[in-house]
Amino acid sequence: MIHDDFYDTSNDYLFATENQEIEDSPSVILDEQTHNDQLLPKINDKPGNCSNLPNNDENEDELNSATPTSETISILKKYFGFSKFRPLQYQIVHSAILKRDQLVVMSTGYGKSICYQMPALLQDGFITLVVSPLISLMEDQVFALQQAGIEAAYLGGNSNIPRDVIFDQIRMNKLKILYITPEMYECSPSYVDRIAQFVGLLAVDEAHCISAWGHEFRPGYRTIANMRKSLPKVPVMALTATATEPVRNDIVENLRLVSPKITVTGFDRKNLFIEVKKRTQSLTFQRAVQNDLESLLIEDPILGLHFGGSTIIYCQSRDHVNQITEQLRKTGVRAVGYHAAMSNKQREKSHKEFLTEKATTCVATIAFGMGIDKRDVRKVIHYGSPGNIESYYQEIGRAGRDGFPSRCTVFYSNSDMLIHKNRIINKNNNNNITTKSSKDYEMHQLDMLRRMEQFLTTTSCRRYLILSYFDKNVKHPEIPKSDCCDNCTKLLQSGVDKRYNKEEMISDFGEEAKKLFRTINEVFGGRTGLNKPIDFIRGSKTVLSKAPKTFTKGEDLSKHPLYGCGKSRSEMWWKELGKLLRNYGYLIDSKSTFNQFGCITNISDKAEKWLREGGKELKLIPSEYLSNSNNIENGKDLSTTTLSIPNKVVEIISEKLLGIEKQREYKDASCYPCIASASDKNIFVYEMLPQLRKELEDLRYQLALESDCPANSVYSNTVIEGLVKIRPTNEATLELVEGFPEQRRKQFLTPITQLISKFCSENNISTDSKEAEIEFPEDLESLKNGLTLTEKNYYHAHVLYNRSLEETSSNMKATSSTVANHLSTAAKRGLPLHLKTLGITSELIEIVHNKIKENGRVKESSGKVAARAYSPNK
């Protein structure tokens, strides 16, 4: 068990157990065999489908059609700053007031907290009792509530308020929300009895922690159901952002929810861009970090070197945390470390410095977990692969909780999966876990790891792989999106038909798979790892003596029909195939009985069935390596720098390119009235607003330092956008800004309005406006966020003023080729250009295509070709 994230150590009996050098996710915490048999669900006792649970339909129509009163909206505006609820939020709040048990599965950043905080504000004399897994998370949430003017407190950890004082506050209706940990309840169940008459709602936050089938199982959560004995008439609201159907079933069963109303809002975080990179293979870890991470740094006059905003870097070991933190500090990054071996005081310091912007980067193990309530994290970097897809989704959930674009990057190496696999198998083996339920749990963990590996190596949409894990009804997108993931971006930039064609994505590995399956079974009897069967298939002489004699009965294996049958393929190719077959469930790994640190590979029941049915075609989506290998063998070079296009299919590709590109990427700017009809004055204001936004961000930073609080608790990025759009100079118009609670509006009214008044006066810009002068459509704003600041400036210089290539070059004091490159990048993102003004006609496009036909290779971007073809000097 780890020393987790300000965990309530005083009441947790697992806390005293020994730390491990590589920190474990709570989902893989297994203690003694008897303890696990009590906690892990038996495989035959798994709860049924949530859809089959009894549901009280009597008031369902009333619940779904309920609308908030004006008084309710006033309370929402006063304490949270919003003039309306998000879809489903009020129905959840209303159901709680009607004393309905609920399970709420809501994506991070959507507004789960409002769902359980509002009922206490709407019911005089009652509190909401919130069970939360982490002390640090409770501290952050209580602080945020107090900043908004809501009376809140927590019990446990570093709380210095006596319990009698808290009880008196509850009794006198001076407290609305009380947070506790499960361990605190285990230690003092009588306290819940004492406050029972004042509790109007029991909220269980991060409810997935109750399920052993989830990724963050915490035994203490299993005791929460006992609270219902003290609170028999109090409704329960279980909330989580990450719950598959089995986990949802487990939550309902273990919390004993009665006819629960189940709300699932979806899992898609559209503002997160997801990408995967191979970690640099270097002789030194320091050099790898330098190559992978330091190249991502940018400089800011106030924040110094940083990764483009608040950043969390997750590592798999404490040693890596220490090394990366030290290296980033030497580079000039304001970085802090966070892991379980640090003292509570050290972790507290790191946590606070990161929250208050004194540090821009937190390098942490998974001990950081859920324990950060910071809404403006712009980047989450995993330096080393996460152990499973659920943990990964939870951890990237720290990014972009304010709804603004954020980036999630994984740097991984092939050895990461082996390390995770050995940890799962060795941990269970060391604990002598042999019962069926525990073995089933081990297989569940390995399955989650397999899905993680599939996510890392896929050539299809990575977002789809995540979403389909939580919701089987999610369909793969047909058309890639530029702000989705790296694979979608690669497809958009490939220069060919920009669609996910399922038939073209799939390859038949039937012949090779049968060779590998038979070698594993017939030659080695499933008694080795994957290396020996691969060596045998490739005709290695050294492997001939290593096949088990009892299995081969002394035959001359060099004459075996499978020996050397795959020598036309490289060793790497076969290893990648083995990895792919494992990810699709055709190969399974298990603990070696004769090697403490080894695994053996067998074919699965799924593979056995395929062989029995004839074992012919086996169509799978290949990894990037296998896909590129197949394409090269077929005469295609699909590297990122060159694209080979056989002449006979150029016309077909050109038709597709013209049809899709015109519609998606090269849509003319005149199609957007907000751009085409903009006046010079409106354009000037639009171009000045980023400067106002920056000054408001700097002011927020200074106010946060003065108040010694997180910058986001002064005002959020959503508030900044509202301030830039409305430009309020008095209290009345400041109230129009969404997401700004009344107490904070009054606290920061003067510095905000003074800054805006001064800026707008100096630049002759109107104030107290409800409408923006120029407002790009939301989809275009999202695409623009994918540009660098320099690219955005060049794009605005062209598109806002309808300037030609030469005019833009003159205005930006740059060469035509530089402008063409930046505009080409914008076009690839899907942003509109003034095609006619740029001289991009159908004739010019034909010139570009003829160039492709002539050369057979695209060695430079179409933007460069177009620029050269159009340039009056050439």
Do 41-264 and 507-620 have matching folds? Answer: no
Query: Can you give the residue ranges of every domain in the chain?
Result: 1-31+269-413, 41-264, 507-620, 669-673+777-870, 679-762
Q: Is the pLDDT of residue 863 over 50?
A: no
Q: Is the pLDDT of residue 80 over 90?
A: yes
Q: Output phi, psi for 9, to 5 deg.
A: -65, -25
Residue 458 gets which letter from DSSP?
A: B
* Banded pLDDT at 437 (limits 50, 70, 90): low
* Banded pLDDT at 757 (limits 50, 70, 90): very high
Check whether domain 41-264 has CATH 3.20.20.20, yes or no? no
Q: Which fold has domain 1-31+269-413?
A: Rossmann fold (3.40.50)
Q: Given this model, what pLDDT does residue 50 score?
A: 45
Q: Output phi, psi for 212, to 5 deg.
A: -70, -15
Task: Compute the mean pLDDT over every residue in the chain, rounded to the nearest whole number.
Answer: 80
Higher pLDDT, 160 or 662: 160
Comparing 539-543, 820-824, 863-867, the range with the smallest average pLDDT is 863-867
Residue 650 carries which side chain, given as an amino acid letter? V
Residue 824's alpha-carbon distances to 656, 821, 831, in angstroms, are 19, 5, 10
User: Residues near 479 by Cβ (< 8 Å), separated by ≥ 6?
Assistant: 498, 499, 500, 664
Residue 56 half-sphere exposure, CB side, CA atoms within 13 Å?
15
**Closest of 20, 128, 121, 132 to residue 80, by C-alpha:** 121
User: Residues near 762 by Cβ (< 8 Å), separated by ≥ 6?
Assistant: none
Which class is domain 507-620? mainly alpha
To the nearest whole percent, how much of the chain has pLDDT over 90? 40
Higher pLDDT, 541 or 380: 380
Q: Is the pLDDT of residue 593 over 70?
A: no
Give the separation between CA 796 and CA 350, rounded to whole angstroms. 40
> Rounded to a whole number, what is the largest CA-CA distance in the chain?
93
Q: Given this model, what pLDDT does residue 600 score?
A: 82
pLDDT tens figures, 766-780: 899 866 566 777 778
pLDDT tens figures, 252-301: 999 999 999 999 988 899 889 999 999 998 778 889 999 999 989 988 88
Instruction: Please provide the distance, in angstroms rounded to a whole number, between the alpha carbons at the two ends of the chain.
Output: 69
Give the separation between CA 670 and CA 72, rounded to whole angstroms. 44
* Banded pLDDT at 73 (limits 50, 70, 90): very high
Q: Output phi, psi for 312, to 5 deg.
A: -110, 130
Cβ contact 288:343 at 8 Å:
no
Give the separation between CA 580 and CA 416, rounded to whole angstroms. 16
Residue 237, burial from CB neighbour count under 10 angstroms (0-12, 13-18, 19+): buried
Give me 464's structure tokens.
Answer: 């789809």
Q: Which CATH architecture has domain 679-762?
A: Orthogonal Bundle (1.10)
Q: Given this model, what pLDDT does residue 667 score?
A: 64
Residue 61: how many CB atoms within 10 A of its CB? 9
Q: Is the pLDDT of residue 418 over 50?
A: yes
Q: Given this model, what pLDDT does residue 231 score?
A: 94
Across residues 720-745, what is the average pLDDT?
A: 94
Higher pLDDT, 61 or 809: 809
Higher pLDDT, 328 or 830: 328
Across residues 842-863, what is the average pLDDT?
A: 66
Q: Given this model, what pLDDT does residue 136 score?
A: 80
* Banded pLDDT at 370 (limits 50, 70, 90): low
**Closest of 130, 112, 144 to residue 743, by C-alpha:** 144
Q: Across 85-184, where does the E strand assignment appear?
A: 102-105, 127-131, 152-154, 177-180
DSSP secondary structure string, 792-834?
HHHHHHHHTTT--HHHHHHHHT--HHHHHHHHHHHHHTT--B-
Q: Is the pLDDT of residue 810 over 80?
A: yes
